[in-house]
Structure 1
């Protein structure tokens, strides 16, 4: 589905693009703030250390902007990264956490809208700091994978998810999204120490999740179908190396 409101300013975009998707560090929930209500909790000391580690993982890339969710824990993570990368920080409301009043479709739509806007622009490398659900939605949109869990064919009791959901987006982790004319590739670059998935320790919803070291994805490559969500078409004749 084409995303409305995305300016189609060029027929051709840059040949190669890189997005570094960074989840915020571990928050400090002791103040009682809800994670989906702005401004949300700040980073804990562990979260700041995770952010510093993530900064070390991304500082060798030629990023020109850091885009961040407007929530405090994401902004503080982005500030840690900015201290190592020395690039400007922009706050983007479409990167905010999944709010309890939103459907998964709405989260996916705004995440895809942000991705399409970025691809329509001139940057070749940028950093995105956000939350697990929106970052996974960006990955699904870029890789053109389903945004919803579905029931396995012939097994109505078995819930199945897209292969993108086998990426474990731990707090402070870094996922590299590379876009070339023919392919879109996602690579898990980095998990910090300690590796934390869910700060609240609440039971996960009904979605199956990978267990560390068991069935977890580290790499996916798919055909470039970004034109189907309204992104500029790239020159097929360019080298896809």
Structure 2
């Protein structure tokens, strides 16, 4: 049981989107909506977080993230707070592609960010660098933390950006973070301990175990 006065962050990957269903690397705002399965996943998220002391609900500016967060915000009678910093990585020329070559190209760039800390790398055609993604995401999270006096804040974001940022924030071994994808509505639980954020759960697992 957590002590009174402690703070928790629950970082959720959005539910299944229309882009997920067809394997598209869609990465611009506002982006596609949730599928019917995704809407069901968003409703189930409400029940899965029923025991959490949720004080605020945040999402990225992307439609799929907002649609995932809305049922939870409504159930807790909270306003949904939307922040552009939590959006997915922009992939330049790889945007909206579905082919294996595009996925492999992004995987290579992403591994260079996460494992080799080559944060200046970017996807071709004006994609964001790892440093840009990390900077805006963690900057947005700072706003969440400042606004949270106690209890939990839920942030609905996106798989790639979330794993990159949280692995840095909670000092998770990079290769472990790279190989442990978050499923749709999978979430990471971080507790504040002695001035740092400790990972309690990453999609139901403890990192490094």
Fold conserved between structures, TM > 0.5: yes
State the match for 2:8 in structure 1.
Answer: 18
Equivalents in 2 of 1:110, 1:41: separation in Å? 22
* Pair member with larger Rg: 1
Query: Taking structure 1 as reference, are residues 162 and 189 closer, same or farther at Cα in structure 2, changes over 3 Å only?
Result: closer
State the match for 2:101 in structure 1.
Answer: none
Equivalents in 2 of 1:62, 1:189: separation in Å? 19
Q: For each residue in 1:151-175, what CA deviation from the matched residue of structure 2 results, as whole angstroms up to 9, or x when unmatched?
A: xxxxxxxxxx443334321111122
Equivalents in 1 of 2:195, 2:85: separation in Å? 27
How do 1:23-172 residues align onto structure 2 when only pairs under 5 Å count? 23-29=13-19, 35-100=26-91, 101-124=127-150, 125-145=152-172, 161-172=174-185
Equivalents in 2 of 1:167, 1:17: separation in Å? 25
Q: For each residue in 1:79-99, what CA deviation from the matched residue of structure 2 results, as whole angstroms up to 9, or x when unmatched?
A: 122233322210000001111
Secondary structure, aligned partner of 1:172: coil
How does the TM-score come out when normalised to structure 2? Answer: 0.70
Question: Stretches of 4+ moved more than 4 A in 1?
Answer: none
State the match for 1:179 in structure 2.
Answer: 192
- Cα RMSD over matched residues? 2.8
Equivalents in 2 of 1:34, 1:137: separation in Å? 17
How does the TM-score come out when normalised to structure 1? Answer: 0.61
Query: Taking structure 1 as reference, are residues 167 and 178 closer, same or farther at Cα in structure 2, changes over 3 Å only?
Result: farther
Higher helix share: 2
Equivalents in 1 of 2:52, 2:195: separation in Å? 22
